Amino acid sequence: MSRKIFLLLIVSFSFRFGFSQEYKGSVIRVIDGDTFVFQTEEGSLIVRMHGIDAPERKQPFAAESADFLKQYLNREASVQISGTDRYGRSIGVLYVNKQDINLLSVRQGFAWQYKQYSSDKKYLVAEKLARKRKRGLWAVPDPLPPWEWRKK
């Protein structure tokens, strides 16, 4: 059995029983501002960042959002995986030096809190602070959230 299939089976099995799993490794590719490929000793995972939604590729501020995440390429990191989405991607929180990068992305104005999937108050507070300080995407008036952009 290939390592990828084995890793996928382990991850899927864990979520069915309500477990989360921490993996150590590094981000080896940034797909966009909220999705990346994470390399572990066992194989690689495509990870959708939990609790946040970054601008879509053709949406304003998408490149800046992806560039923010790219600063963590090839750095020692961990990811706490809590499930999978409908596309088979792992859902997780990225940590570098024990810092929650998902939260930092929102705090710096590179993503919105994805309220449909997270009610975590720390993300709400981070987004309000970024809005107030006009950080990142909040520097432009009335930025369109990605979930509304996708409906168009």
pLDDT of amino acid 17: 44
Catalytic: which of 22, 29, 41, 56? Answer: 56
Q: Pick the range with the lowest mean pLDDT from 28-32, 79-83, 137-141.
A: 137-141
Instruction: Reply yes or no on whether the pLDDT at 3 is more than 80.
Output: no
Residues 6 or more apart whose Cβ sits within 8 Å of residue 143: 55, 60, 61, 137
Number of residues in the chain: 152
CATH number (domain holding residue 54): 2.40.50.90
Catalytic: which of 48, 57, 107, 133? Answer: 48
75 is catalytic: no
* Per-residue pLDDT reduced to its tens digit, 41-97: 999 999 999 999 999 999 999 999 999 999 999 999 999 999 999 999 999 999 999
Q: Is residue 140 part of a domain?
A: no
22 is catalytic: no
* Per-residue pLDDT reduced to its tens digit, 120-132: 899 999 999 999 9
48 is catalytic: yes
Quick one: which H or E segment has residue 54? none
Count of structural domains within the chain: 1
Domain that holds residue 32: 3-135
Catalytic: which of 16, 89, 133, 135? Answer: 89
